[in-house]
Amino acid sequence: MRILLSWIAFNNDLEINEKTGKLGGPTLQILRSENFDVLHLFSSNGEGQKKASRLKLHVEENRREFGVKKIELEYLQLNSPADYQVLWKKFPQYIEQILSKYDRNDLEIFISLSAGTTAMSSTWMMMVGTGQLKATLLNAQINKETGYESLEVVDAGIYPFVREIKDKIDRDLGLVQKFSSAAMRRIYEELTILTRNTRRPILLLGETGTGKTTLAIQLHQMSGKPENSYQKAECGEFRGADLNIVKSQLFGHVKGAYTGADKETSGMLAEANGGTLFLDEIGDIPMEVQRLLIDVVESKTFRKLGSQDMHQSDFQLLCATNRDIDEMLKNNTLSQDFYYRISSYPYLIPPLRERPEDIPVILEDLLETPHYQSLVFEEMVSEELVRCLQKSSLPRNIRDVQKILDHFVLQSQMPEPHSLSSKEIHEYFEENREPTQDDNFSETILKSFSQWQQTSYAKRGEKWRDTVLDVALKDLVGSPEYKKRKGGLNFSKLATSLGVDQKTIKSRLEKKEHIPGESFYENY
């Protein structure tokens, strides 16, 4: 059984070969050159699906010309054709599901490297080069001057460093593209650059449970620093502790530095040399400990307790807190000097309610941890769980997701182990109902409407509906989601999203174009 696996070549398949006059492209070229029992043809979006269907129809209508008995159309949705995260995480699983239908003892697998994006081709090479998939790599070539077509067998052995490359890109591009929200992607992209190019302190802000600690660990991993050079200090543990003990934890001590110090220790700063020092919940750090760290943060030099010798540590400082920085500064629980030294690059991690599109990724990561591996859902129920979570307020963010999963772990074992049903999911959210994001939004709208007459907009005679529409438009017209391929706004999609007609949208935008400083869509 000979199987060919290939992406649809969106730009090249079904293009006419000017020299031969035939429909060409890498997929048809391989099918003309070799015989296969089945072609599994992959696409990643609606347009790709349409093109794959047309190619299948063309082959079926011209069977004598092509050496394939059957074509199966496959679909894997990607955020973009270069979505390494989905490709490297889900595509191998998808391929395994396809191949599980065949007898592996009677199976020859071939892969078309010529079709698809660089990300798609590199995924094939990674799978074959790392031994994950045993297959022959085919590369269709064409001489543009003569139109001559040829087929090259690519030796996977020419990629001796493929595993090293994969690991590196997984750490960098993979983590950046892991999230769907633009906010988290931007944060990961910028922090990845910072941790590779500066040792200046980074401050992670955000509500409890937004993933600040996880982000700190991932940043250390992405930086390429030694694994054992990551040091984490829980600042709350410094409260009420003997100052000598705190100094010993941070700076180390020499033998005899204090009662009970029977041997010399290195301390966190020395252990973090060349790596990362993470101060978690700096909102809990006592003022006297802040004073200890002020000079160290800037100079990277310190003395061990009981010693006069100076030591150097080249560490990257990461700090995190869920407290209100302005409030702490105002109440003098956070020193101005200390704050200025740790906040060279402050980043606010958004709560889950502001980025519900990231919940599927977070849920998937949690379900892969040992604690939740026994949790099984009936078909499609996990998607229902995602929808319920996305509507929830989740005030404690990821911790609330964990709390809900903890409940389902228990429920899935009672009265005996079973897969959770859609009914059980809905019953839990109904019984534990709290205000959803929709409820909060409705309440805000009602409150705004009741106070409308007191605003400057109302006093200028502007209508409430038009102003809300203007605010929405100002945000949406800059989004790539509402732009056409060749530029310009997709008025049809805007109208559908906002629930108004295209004429109204164009009218509001044109009105703003005539007000200085109010241009919404210049150059569109």
DSSP bridge pairs for 231? 277
E strand or H helix at 475: helix 464-476
**Phi, psi angles (nearest 5°) of residue 521:** -140, 50
Q: Where are the domains of the chain?
A: 2-164, 179-348, 352-437, 451-513
The pLDDT value recorded for residue 461 is: 61
| Positions of the chain with pLDDT lower than 70, given as ranges | 19-20, 85, 130, 144-145, 147, 155-177, 434-465, 485-487, 512-524
CATH T-level topology, domain 179-348: Rossmann fold (3.40.50)
Length of the chain: 524
Digit-coded pLDDT (tens) for 156-166? 654 444 555 55
The pLDDT value recorded for residue 522 is: 37
Please name which of 365, 384, 383 lies closest in space to residue 373, comparing C-alpha atoms.
365
CATH T-level topology, domain 2-164: Rossmann fold (3.40.50)
3-state secondary structure of 251: helix
CA 165 – CA 160 distance, rounded (Å): 10
CA 360 – CA 141 distance, rounded (Å): 40
* Residue carrying the six token digits 């943060």: 297
User: 355-388 burial, b if ≥16 CB within 10 A, otherwise e?
Assistant: bbebbbbbbeebbeeeebeebebeeebbebbbeb
The pLDDT value recorded for residue 270 is: 94
The pLDDT value recorded for residue 195 is: 76
The pLDDT value recorded for residue 462 is: 64
Architecture of domain 352-437: Orthogonal Bundle (1.10)
The pLDDT value recorded for residue 438 is: 53
Topology alike, domains 179-348 and 352-437:
no
CA 197 – CA 275 distance, rounded (Å): 13
pTM (global) more than 0.75? no
* Residues in contact with 91: Cβ distance below 8 Å, sequence separation at least 6, in sequence order: 76, 123
